[in-house]
């Protein structure tokens, strides 16, 4: 594989951040110059119907959260460097309230992006009514459309389980970043609304799932079962449950809501049990050779691989598969024209999320050479992409937001926003 002799993107954390922001702004406009973030309207550049695409915008929300935290950390570091005494390093609490206006701005932009997505993908394609099941008081009660450009057919618009769970995760992280329970509540309501629609024989001992539903969730569009969907649901719903429990306790209403500190008996308990039964029916998880599936599996299980054997076992098998893909199958030597950037950026994301965990750090660091090679291979093409415009049906928005996340996983990482609410062992 031919790669550039040098890669400025990989040199320093600050160059990562500059490139990260450049990729994000290529989709969402010059966000760094916005004066009134409360009135910002996200440009319709996400590569989907009416300018919105659920997967792309989920990454957009998470990247804005990452940018907010990165700017905050830079401000603290600058203050510490200016401090006369290392004995009393600066913290956020010691600095003026307006000192973090820039980082807080990006959280406001993330809120605005969430509102815009709900106002487009939570409605019918003609924009005249909410999706069936949704109301003004429960706007996500009908789920969220994918945002496909085509209206009909197996590859047309509908609802994907894995797109919905990544959006739930984005809402959950925004809730933690802003300390606003509203967003996790929205994620829980979305989870409750869509969950039964993706299940067949839900109440049996051997339930199964479907890959894709119609826009109104009335029937399957693709009835086959997604490889990662049950694990996605099992992990993300547990994160939502743990956050709901922690936020209820901090509000002093945990006992009234029947929420224990570890989430036992709390929201989504029945749904989590459904996913577990699907996982048990399927047996040992099939580890794909697809780079995106591999990377997103690694990302999903990193939430529990430190303390639950099932997740650690899957992570280990993913590591082996990545090694085989890169060394035995010589994946990185394939011509770039036969590869898809966003799928490989998923691999980078999964590897980097494990590189901060003690139990998998060494193996992830060993594999990080492949993540770096992927970034180097795509850098020249990303240079061209970032300097060009977007069309409505362009894959480049997905490439750009996932490229940013591959450079700095940030909000995708466990513990990035502080100690995680503790999920109950299942």
Two tokens at 44? 């319709």
pLDDT at 12 > cutoff 60: no
Percent of residues, the chain, with pLDDT higher than 90 = 74
Better-scored residue on pLDDT, 394 or 114: 114
pLDDT at site 86:
56
Q: For 257-262, what is the mean pLDDT?
A: 38
184, part of any domain: yes
Per-residue pLDDT band at 391 (split at 50, 70, 90): low
Confidence band for 364, pLDDT divided at 50, 70 and 90: confident
pLDDT score at 384: 87
Q: How confident is the model at residue 77 (pLDDT cuts 50, 70, 90)?
A: confident
Q: What is the pLDDT of residue 255?
A: 38
Which of 282, 261, 267, 235 shows the shortest CA–CA distance to 426?
Answer: 235
**Residue pLDDT, tens place only, 167-211:** 999 999 999 999 999 999 999 999 999 999 999 999 998 999 999
Q: How confident is the model at residue 357 (pLDDT cuts 50, 70, 90)?
A: confident
pLDDT at residue number 8:
35
* pLDDT recorded at residue 15: 81
Across 296-320, average pLDDT: 96
Residue 408's pLDDT band (boundaries 50, 70, 90)?
very high
- Where b means 16+ CB within 10 Å and e means fewer, 66-93 reads bbbbbbbeebbeebeeeeeeeeeebeee
Residue 250: its pLDDT value, please? 67
Phi, psi of 130 (to 5 degrees): -65, 160
Q: Which residues contact 314 (CB under 8 A, 6 or more apart)?
A: 231, 285, 287, 297, 301, 305
Asked whether the predicted pLDDT for residue 256 surpasses 60, the reply is no
**Pick from 279, 282, 406: nearest CA to 352:** 406
Residue 117 lies in a domain: no
- pLDDT for residue 263 is more than 90: no
Q: What is the model's pLDDT at position 72?
A: 86
Q: Does some domain include residue 73? A: no
Closest to 77 in 3D by CA, of 106, 100, 98, 97: 100
Q: What is the mean pLDDT of residues 221-242?
A: 96
Residue 314: inside a domain, yes or no?
no
Is 70 part of a structural domain of the chain? no
Q: What is the pLDDT of residues 124-151, one digit of tens each?
A: 999 999 999 999 999 999 999 999 999 9
- The tokens describing 243, both together, are 């956050």
Euclidean distance between CA atoms 209 and 199, whole angstroms? 5
User: Does 28 fall in a domain?
Assistant: no
Write down the pLDDT at residue 101.
61
Report the number of distinct structural domains present in the chain. Answer: 1
Quote the pLDDT of residue 392.
Answer: 53
Kindly give the interhelix angle for 229-250 and 161-178, rounded to the nearest 10 degrees.
Answer: 20
The pLDDT confidence band at residue 251, using thresholds 50, 70 and 90, is: low
What pLDDT does residue 87 have?
Answer: 55
What would the mean pLDDT of 263-285 be, rounded to a whole number? 87
Identify whether the C-beta of residue 225 lies closer than 8 Å to the C-beta of residue 281.
no
Looking at residue 257, what is its pLDDT? 40
The more confident residue out of 197 and 5 is 197
Q: How many CB atoms lie within 10 A of CB 264?
A: 13
List Cβ neighbours of 43 (8 Å cut-off, separation of 6 or more): 27, 28, 29, 51
pLDDT digits (tens, 9 = 90+) for 199-224: 999 999 899 999 999 999 999 999 99
Domain membership of residue 211 as a residue range: 123-283
- In order of 70, 175, 351, the CA distances from 7 in angstroms are 22, 36, 19
Instruction: Write down the mean pLDDT value for the chain.
Output: 88
Rounded CA-CA distance 318/179 in Å is 34
- Condensed to tens digits (0 to 9), the pLDDT of residues 35-60 reads 999 999 999 999 999 999 999 999 99
Decide if pLDDT at 359 tops 60.
Answer: yes
Range with top average pLDDT, 1-5, 282-286, 369-373:
369-373
The pLDDT value recorded for residue 102 is 65
Q: Can you tell me the mean pLDDT for 82-95?
A: 56
Whether the predicted pLDDT of 254 surpasses 80: no
pLDDT for 92-117, tens place per residue? Answer: 555 445 545 666 999 999 999 999 99
Domain presence at residue 213: yes
Distances 115 to 140, 406, 420 between C-alpha atoms, Å? 11, 25, 25
Model confidence at 319: pLDDT above 50 = yes
CA 134/CA 242 separation, integer angstroms: 25
101 within some domain: no
Q: Binning pLDDT at 50, 70 and 90, where does residue 88 land? A: low
Q: Is the pLDDT of residue 398 over 60?
A: yes
């Amino acid at each position: 594989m031919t790669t550039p002799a040098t890669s400025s993107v990989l040199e320093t954390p600050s160059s990562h951040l500059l490139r990260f922001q450049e990729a994000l702004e290529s989709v969402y406009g010059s966000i760094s110059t916005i004066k009134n973030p409360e009135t910002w309207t996200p440009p319709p550049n996400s590569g989907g119907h009416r300018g919105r695409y659920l997967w792309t915008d989920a990454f957009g929300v998470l990247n804005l959260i990452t940018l907010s935290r990165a700017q905050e950390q830079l401000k603290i570091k600058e203050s510490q460097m200016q401090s006369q005494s290392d004995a009393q390093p600066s913290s956020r609490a010691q600095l003026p309230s307006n000192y973090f206006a820039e980082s807080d701005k990006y959280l406001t932009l993330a809120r605005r992006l969430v509102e815009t997505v709900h106002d487009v993908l939570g409605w019918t394609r003609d924009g005249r009514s909410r999706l069936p099941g949704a109301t003004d008081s429960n706007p996500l009660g009908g789920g969220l459309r994918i945002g496909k450009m085509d209206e009909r057919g197996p590859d047309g618009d509908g609802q994907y389980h894995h797109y919905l769970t990544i959006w739930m995760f984005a809402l959950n992280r925004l809730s933690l970043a802003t300390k606003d329970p509203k967003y996790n509540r929205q994620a829980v309501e979305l989870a409750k609304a869509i969950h039964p629609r993706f299940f067949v024989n839900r109440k049996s001992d051997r339930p199964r799932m479907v890959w894709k539903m119609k826009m109104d969730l009335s029937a399957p569009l693709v009835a086959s079962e997604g490889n990662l969907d049950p694990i996605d649901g099992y992990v993300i719903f547990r994160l939502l449950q743990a956050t709901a429990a922690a936020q209820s306790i901090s509000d002093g209403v945990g006992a009234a809501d029947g929420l224990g500190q570890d989430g036992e008996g709390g929201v989504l308990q029945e749904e989590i049990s459904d996913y577990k039964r699907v996982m048990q029916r399927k047996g040992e998880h099939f580890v794909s050779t697809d780079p995106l599936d591999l990377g997103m599996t690694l990302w999903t299980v990193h939430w529990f691989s430190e303390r639950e054997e099932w997740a650690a076992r899957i992570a280990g098998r993913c590591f082996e598969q990545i090694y085989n893909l890169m060394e035995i199958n010589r994946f990185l030597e394939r011509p770039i024209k036969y590869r898809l950037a966003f799928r490989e950026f998923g691999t980078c994301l999964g590897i980097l999320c494990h590189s901060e965990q003690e139990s998998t750090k060494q193996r992830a660091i060993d594999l990080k050479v492949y993540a770096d090679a992927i970034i180097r291979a795509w850098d020249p093409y990303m240079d061209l992409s970032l300097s060009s415009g977007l069309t409505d049906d362009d894959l480049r928005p997905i490439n750009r937001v996932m490229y940013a996340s591959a450079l700095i996983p940030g909000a995708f990482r466990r513990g990035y926003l502080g100690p995680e609410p503790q999920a109950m062992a299942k």
